Amino acid sequence: MPLFHKKTVPQFSFDPQKQEPAVRRSICTGEMTVGFIDKATGKFHDLMMVDSQGLEEFRKQVGVEEIRTIY
């Protein structure tokens, strides 16, 4: 097991009919958590915390240009 390795966004699957990709940001600290919003209930489901590079990778995996931001 290598001591230093590049962080990668895990592979996942989602249903675009039922879920919408989103990022939740903290107003105070600026932390970003990516996940999905359930369209039926409006509840946000956390996937993982990311930085700006991880957010770009998440957007590429999901296949969206713009991503909804929740504060």
Parallel/antiparallel/unpaired status of strands 68-70 and 32-38: unpaired
Structure letter (DSSP) for residue 32:
E
Domain-wise residue ranges, the chain: 24-70
Tens of pLDDT, residue by residue, the chain (71 residues): 566 666 665 666 778 899 999 999 999 998 999 999 999 999 999 999 999 899 999 999 888 889 999 99
Q: Is 34 exposed, middle or buried (0-12, 13-18, 19+ CB in 10 A)?
A: buried
pTM value is 0.76
For the chain, what is the radius of gyration of the CA atoms? 13
